[in-house]
Each structure stands twice: as C-alpha cells, then as structure tokens.
Amino acid sequence: MENEFENILFVTDFYYPHPTSIGICVDKLVEEFKLMGKKVTIICYDNEIKKRNIVVNNVEIHFIKQKIGERVKKIADKQKNKLFKILLNYLGIFLVRFGQLLFFPWCRMSSIIVPLRYYFKINELYKKNKYDMICSSNAPFDGTLGTYWFKKKNPYVYWECYILDTFSNKGQTKYISAKTNDKKGWKWEKKFFDKANKIINIKGDVEHYSNSRYDIYRKKMVNTDVPLFDLNHYEVIPKKNNEKIKMIYAGRLLEHLSSPQYLCELLYKLSKNIDYSMDFYSSGDCEKIIEKYQNITSGKIKRCGLIDHNELLEKYKKADILISIGSKKADLTPSKIFEYMSMGKKIIHIIKNDNDICVESYKKYPKALLIDERDNVEENIEKIIKFINSEDLQIDFNTLKEAFIENTPQYTVELMLKIK
C-alpha cells in the first residue's frame, strides 16, 4: 500500500554544493521524488554557504552549522601562512577529539549543540509545512538524533531512517574495541528504531541485521542498495580522431587502504605507449603521491582536487575511461561504482586483494577491465593497452538495468512510499 507522501523533509549531512557520498545518494532520491511531483525540503550541514537557506532546482535547502572543531579545520585549510595553517588544524583536531572524549559515555554523540540545531530547525520548518514524511540519513549522527528528539515530542509524525551505514557494525576503530563499538551503537539503534516508522537498510548489511536482537524491528525493515545507477546522465560524446585518451579518478584515497601508487606506476610506464591524460579529482592523504607522478609524467597525471558534483558528472561524460581503485578493507560496495557504470564508459578497476567487494558488481558490467596489482606489471600494461585500443562496446542498458535494479533511485523511492 502506498501513502500520499506529497511533502517530504530530508535530514542529511553535506548536500550542496559539495555533497558526501550520502548526500549524492539523497540527491538521486530527491530527483526521483521531484519527477513524481513531490515537494522536497533539505536540512543539511553548511558547506561554504553563508546564507541560512537557499533554493536550488526548486528544492529548499536549510543549512546547519557544524561542530566548532570541524569549522576551525576548514578555516585552517584556507590559510596561506603554513605555520598558522598547521596550528589552526591542530586546534581543530583537538576540539574534535575533546568533544568525542567529553561525550564518550554517549558515543556516537560528540556534541549537544549540533543535534539541537537540527532539532530546532526541523521543529521550525514542520510548524510551517506539516511534512507528510521526514527521512533522516544515518549521517550525520547529529541529524538522526535531532530527528529522534522531534519524533519523541511529535509521535504522529511519519519518520523513515535511511541507513546507508550501520550505527553498530563498526568493528574495531583506533581507540574503541569492536565490542564497545557494537554495544554503544546498539544502544542508539534501539532508541531510533523504537520510534521510526520504517528502517531502510543497505543490502550489504543484511547479514548484520539478521542478528536476533533486530527481530522486534523486522516488520519495520526493508532492504535496498545504493541508488546511483541512474541512466539520466548517460550521453554519448563522439571521440575525435587522434585525440588523447582521457581518464578520470574521483574520490577519497587513503594510503593504508586505497593507495594510487601502483596505478600511477602503471600509468607512468604506459606513457611510453599511449597518449593520455589522467585527472585525479581526489582527497585524502595520497595527494603527494599524485603530485610526484604529475612531475615525472610532465602533467599527463594531474592532481585536480575536489570539484562540485554536477561539474564532475560533466567530466565523466567527456572521459574515455573511468578509473576505480579497490580498498584493502571494505564491508560495503562503494556508491561511486554504480554512478560510474551508469555513465556507460569503459572502466579500469585496480584490485588490492581477494576481498575486493567491487569485483562482483564489475563482473556484471561488460566494459570493465579488472587489474590485480599482485599480477605481473608488464602483463597488466599489455591488458590495459589492449583494452584502450579495443572497440567501444554498445551496452544494452535495459539488460544492465535489470541486473542493477536495486541500485536505481526508482527502486528505493518505491520502497520509501510504501507503508509497512
């Protein structure tokens, strides 16, 4: 049974103009709701926007200030004076850690002020708009907590929890054991799930939620997947003769998990055979590796930094090959790979180990080349040259859409509109 959810409020983290992976997923759902004629409002973290609220593509967006430590770190990033930048960054880190320590008994919570900001903003907007549904993503925790407080005071409000990553299944982190993480996450899950009308989980967490402790919430739960397989952005741009091969990587890179070192070394050796450009639209702690290869390849490999997501989509359209790098440790399939495949481009994926969670999905995609960095370098270079020079296959997107139906925005939106 479907309800008439005509007026919807999303509570999420970074959404505009530089969304996180969760913000990108929420945006896909927002686009689908708009196509259905629904009215959508967003509450999210501020993202270098000085206004309290703006309207973008007929969506009203209201901004919430982050924790003071995070704001100090952002100010540090903009400083030109190196010493001042370092000092400010350390101050920001200290304030973040202090908040986490202060609120450790209530861990995932690290601030009382930011959840209250979310709560008061939800309350203010609800009085004016009487939303048919409030949907909060799991991140930020502040947003979910603020929504929970609002639901407690307004039990008649319809609330859906959109859980793209669990609160409890965190494993061992730097300072907290897996057992403690699970215990503290489960404490919050019980609070949220008791009040939520529907709990939307990601397919990759099905095994975690099969635990008997979740049986009391089973009737509220539905399973979906990352909603980024969206063919609306698919566009064929003919390649000109003798034009260099354009390759792009986009995303976060961490040296201990997803280092681009092997990829860059392959590309460096490939530069003797193929005329290409390789642009990294990335963040993380691997930027010096990229800069090193930018210098020794005379700019064929290029560090470009982060850009607006809509601008990035335009870059994808003009690229010949999209580059994907696996992680040495990943429990959930990265949302980005479905966005990659929906572009209809050739994809080269670098495998780090036997547990690479992306491989299963890429095997369903006919234009993906899987390169295992444990294999012989020269053989991998030959594979890439052959792949680059191969004819660009025409994809049957109807067949592909069937294979990734749970990754379409339409699939998740239909689940959201059904009453449990």
Q: What is the pLDDT of residue 34?
A: 96
Q: Decide if pLDDT at 419 tops 80.
A: no
Nearest-10 crossing angle of helices 113-129, 141-153? 50
C-alpha dist (Å) from residue 277 to 14, 71, 197, 322: 30, 35, 49, 12
Which helix (H) or strand (E) element contains residue 400?
A: helix 397-403
Band the pLDDT of 372: cuts 50, 70, 90: very high
C-alpha 360/C-alpha 174 separation (Å) is 29
Question: Three-state SS for 58?
Answer: coil
Q: What is the pLDDT of residue 235?
A: 64
Q: What is the pLDDT of residue 233?
A: 66
Tens of pLDDT, residue by residue over 204-261, are: 899 999 999 999 999 999 999 999 988 776 666 656 556 789 999 999 899 988 999 9
Do 266 and 380 meet the contact criterion of CB atoms below 8 Å apart? yes
Q: Mean of the pLDDT values across residues 303-330?
A: 90
C-alpha dist (Å) from residue 105 to 113, 183, 215: 17, 11, 26
Provide the token pair at 59.
Answer: 């969506």
Q: Where are the domains of the chain?
A: 7-67+111-227+410-417, 231-400
Band the pLDDT of 373: cuts 50, 70, 90: very high
Q: Decide if pLDDT at 398 tops 70.
A: yes
* Domains 7-67+111-227+410-417 and 231-400 fall in the same CATH topology: yes
Q: What is the pLDDT of residue 141?
A: 96
Please give the torsion angle defined by the CA atoms of residues 321, 327, 333 and 338, in that order, rounded to the nearest 10 degrees: -10
Q: What is the pLDDT of residue 242?
A: 64
**Which of these, 192, 194, 174, 173, lies nearest to 182 by C-alpha position?**
173
Band the pLDDT of 124: cuts 50, 70, 90: very high
Q: Mean of the pLDDT values across residues 277-287?
A: 92
Tens of pLDDT, residue by residue over 159-207, are: 999 999 999 988 777 778 889 988 999 999 999 999 999 999 998 899 9
User: SS3 helix, strand, coil % of the chain, rounded to 5?
Assistant: 45, 20, 35
| First-to-final CA distance of the chain | 8
Q: Decide if pLDDT at 1 tops 60.
A: no
CATH fold of 231-400: Rossmann fold (3.40.50)
Q: Decide if pLDDT at 322 tops 70.
A: yes
Which pTM value belongs to this model? 0.85
Tens of pLDDT, residue by residue over 61-91, are: 999 999 998 888 888 888 888 888 889 989 9
Q: What is the pLDDT of residue 234?
A: 66
Q: Decide if pLDDT at 309 tops 90.
A: no
**Which of these, 401, 20, 359, 417, lies nearest to 229 by C-alpha position?**
401
- The DSSP 8-state label assigned to residue 141 in this structure reads H
Tens of pLDDT, residue by residue over 125-156, are: 999 999 999 999 999 999 999 999 999 999 99
Please give the torsion angle defined by the CA atoms of residues 56, 59, 60 and 64, in that order, rounded to the nearest 10 degrees: -80
Beta carbons within 8 Å of 228's beta carbon, 6+ residues apart: 24, 25, 28, 335, 336, 338, 339, 342, 407, 409
**Which of these, 1, 44, 52, 287, lies nearest to 146 by C-alpha position?**
44
- CATH dotted code for 7-67+111-227+410-417: 3.40.50.2000
Q: Mean of the pLDDT values across residues 10-21?
A: 91
Q: Decide if pLDDT at 271 tops 60.
A: yes
